[in-house]
A and B are shown apart, each in its own frame.
Chain A
Amino acid sequence: MKLDVNGRAHEVDADPATPLLYVLREDLKLNAAKFGCGLGQCGACTVLADGEAIFSCITPLSVVQGRRITTLEGLGTAEKPGPMQRAFIELQAAQCGYCIPGMMMRAQALLEHKPAASEAEIRAALQPNLCRCGTHMRIVRAAVRAGELMRGKS
Chain B
Amino acid sequence: MNRREFIATGGALIVSFALPVWGQKLPGALDKEPLLDAWLRVGADGRITVFTGKAELGQGIKTAILQIAAEQLAVDMNAIELVTADTALTPNEGYTAGSNSMKDSGTAVLHAAAQAREILIAEAAKRLGVPAGELSAQAGEVRTRDGRRVAYGALVQNELLHVRAAPQSKLIARIADRKYMGKPVARVDIPAKVTGGAAYVHDLRLPDMVHARVVRPPSYGAKLKSVEMEPVAKMAGVLKIVRDGSFLAVVAAREWIAVQAMRALRTHAQWEETRKLPRDVYATLAQLPSQDSVIAGADAQPPQGARLLQAEYRRPYQLHGAIGPACAVARYENGALTIWTHSQGVYPLRGAISELMSMAPERVHCIHLEGSGCYGHNAADDVAADAALVARAVPGTPVRVQWMREDEHAWEPYGPAMITKVRAALDASGNVAGWQYDVWSNTHSSRPGKAGELAAAWSLERPFPPSPPRPIPQPEGGGDRNAIPLYKFPATRVTHHFIPEMPLRVSALRALGGYMNVFSIESFVDELAGAAKADPVAFRLRQLDDPRARDVIRFAAERFGWDAYKKQNGRGRGFAFARYKNLAAYCALAMEVEVQRETGELRVLRVVAAVDSGEAVNPDGIRNQIEGGILQSLSWTTFEAVMYNDARITSRDWGTYPILRFSHVPLAMEVHVIDRPGEHFLGTGEAAQGPAAGALANALAHASGVRVRELPFSPRRLRVTLNA
Q: Which residues of A contact B (CB under 8 A)?
A: 14-15, 18-19, 22, 25-26, 29-32, 34-39, 41-42, 44, 71-73, 75-78, 81, 85, 88-89, 92, 94-101, 104, 123-124, 126-127, 129-138, 140
Q: Are A30 and B373 in contact (CB under 8 A)?
A: no
Q: Are B193 and A100 in contact (CB under 8 A)?
A: yes
Specify the chain B residue showing the minimal Cβ separation from A75: B195
Does B187 sit within 8 A of A, measured CB to CB? yes
Does B659 sit within 8 A of A, measured CB to CB? yes
Q: Which residue of B191, B256, B620, B666 is within 8 Å of A89 (Cβ)? A: B191
CA of A118 to CA of B164 in the docked complex: distance in angstroms?
Answer: 58
Q: Are B254 and A22 in contact (CB under 8 A)?
A: yes
Q: Are A94 and B196 in contact (CB under 8 A)?
A: no
Q: Are A72 and B659 in contact (CB under 8 A)?
A: no
17 new A-B contacts at CB < 8 Å, known A126-B662, A134-B627: A15-B256, A25-B255, A41-B654, A42-B323, A71-B196, A72-B195, A76-B195, A95-B58, A95-B625, A98-B372, A101-B194, A130-B659, A130-B661, A131-B323, A132-B373, A136-B631, A136-B665
Does B312 sit within 8 A of A, measured CB to CB? no
Q: What is the predominant secondary structure among interface residues of chain A facing chain B?
A: loop
Instruction: State the Cβ distance, B677 to closest chain A Cβ, in Å.
Output: 22
The range of chain B's interface size is 35 or more
Does B405 sit within 8 A of A, measured CB to CB? yes
Instruction: State the Cβ distance, B347 to closest chain A Cβ, in Å.
Output: 22
Question: 1/0 per position for B397-423, CB-CB distance to A under 8 A?
Answer: 000001011000000000000000000
Knowing A78-B197, A98-B322 are in contact, say whether A123-B655 is a contact too (CB < 8 A): no
Instruction: State the Cβ distance, B198 to closest chain A Cβ, in Å.
Output: 5
Instruction: State the Cβ distance, A140 to closest chain B Cβ, in Å.
Output: 7
Q: Which of B321, B373, B620 has the most CB of A within 10 A?
A: B373
Q: Are B654 and A137 in contact (CB under 8 A)?
A: no
Q: Are A97 and B654 in contact (CB under 8 A)?
A: no
Does B629 sit within 8 A of A, measured CB to CB? yes
Specify the chain B residue showing the minimal Cβ separation from A133: B628
Q: Which residue of A26, A38, A44, A76 is within 8 Å of B323 (Cβ)? A: A44
CA of A19 to CA of B192 in the docked complex: distance in angstroms?
Answer: 25
Q: B254 to chain A: which residues have CB within 8 Å?
A: 22, 26
Q: Are B662 and A123 in contact (CB under 8 A)?
A: yes
Q: B631 to chain A: which residues have CB within 8 Å?
A: 134-137
Specify the chain A residue showing the minimal Cβ separation from B63: A92
Q: Which residues of B contact A (CB under 8 A)?
A: 57-60, 186-187, 189-200, 202-203, 205, 254-256, 259, 321-325, 370-375, 402, 404-405, 620, 624-625, 627-632, 634-635, 653-655, 659-663, 665-666, 669
CA of A44 to CA of B323 in the docked complex: distance in angstroms?
Answer: 7
CA of A135 to CA of B65 in the docked complex: distance in angstroms?
Answer: 22
Q: Are B194 and A72 in contact (CB under 8 A)?
A: yes
Instruction: State the Cβ distance, A66 to closest chain B Cβ, in Å.
Output: 21
Q: B198 to chain A: which residues have CB within 8 Å?
A: 31
Q: A41 to chain B: which residues have CB within 8 Å?
A: 405, 653-655
Q: Are A85 and B624 in contact (CB under 8 A)?
A: no
Q: A78 to chain B: which residues have CB within 8 Å?
A: 191-192, 195, 197
Knowing A41-B655, A138-B624 are in contact, say whether A89-B186 is a contact too (CB < 8 A): yes
Q: Are B662 and A124 in contact (CB under 8 A)?
A: yes
Q: B373 to chain A: which residues have CB within 8 Å?
A: 96, 98, 132-133
CA of A28 to CA of B220 in the docked complex: distance in angstroms?
Answer: 38
Q: Are A36 and B196 in contact (CB under 8 A)?
A: no
CA of A34 to CA of B194 in the docked complex: distance in angstroms?
Answer: 12
Q: B323 to chain A: which residues have CB within 8 Å?
A: 34, 36, 42, 44, 98-99, 130-132
Instruction: State the Cβ distance, B406 to closest chain A Cβ, in Å.
Output: 9
Knowing A37-B653, A92-B620, A94-B190 are in contact, say whether A140-B196 is a contact too (CB < 8 A): no
CA of A130 to CA of B639 in the docked complex: distance in angstroms?
Answer: 14
Q: Which residue of A19, A89, A140 is within 8 Å of B194 (Cβ)? A: A89
Q: B374 to chain A: which residues have CB within 8 Å?
A: 96
Q: A76 to chain B: which residues have CB within 8 Å?
A: 195
Q: Are B635 and A19 in contact (CB under 8 A)?
A: no
Q: Are A136 and B662 in contact (CB under 8 A)?
A: yes
Q: B627 to chain A: which residues have CB within 8 Å?
A: 134-135, 137-138
Instruction: State the Cβ distance, B559 to closest chain A Cβ, in Å.
Output: 16
CA of A88 to CA of B196 in the docked complex: distance in angstroms?
Answer: 13
Instruction: State the Cβ distance, B656 to closest chain A Cβ, in Å.
Output: 10
CA of A21 to CA of B375 in the docked complex: distance in angstroms?
Answer: 26
CA of A78 to CA of B193 in the docked complex: distance in angstroms?
Answer: 9
Q: Are A132 and B375 in contact (CB under 8 A)?
A: yes
Knowing A92-B620, A132-B322, A135-B628 are in contact, say whether A29-B205 is a contact too (CB < 8 A): yes
Q: Are A94 and B187 in contact (CB under 8 A)?
A: yes
Q: Are A35 and B202 in contact (CB under 8 A)?
A: yes
A and B contact pairs by CB, cutoff 8 A, 19 listed:
A26-B254, A31-B199, A34-B202, A39-B405, A39-B653, A72-B195, A72-B196, A76-B195, A78-B192, A94-B58, A94-B187, A94-B194, A95-B624, A98-B371, A98-B373, A124-B663, A135-B627, A135-B628, A140-B662
CA of A136 to CA of B255 in the docked complex: distance in angstroms?
Answer: 31
Specify the chain A residue showing the minimal Cβ separation from B200: A98
Q: Are A132 and B632 in contact (CB under 8 A)?
A: yes
Q: A132 to chain B: which residues have CB within 8 Å?
A: 321-323, 372-373, 375, 632, 659
Instruction: State the Cβ distance, B262 to closest chain A Cβ, in Å.
Output: 12
Specify the chain A residue showing the minimal Cβ separation from B621: A92
Specify the chain B residue showing the minimal Cβ separation from A33: B196
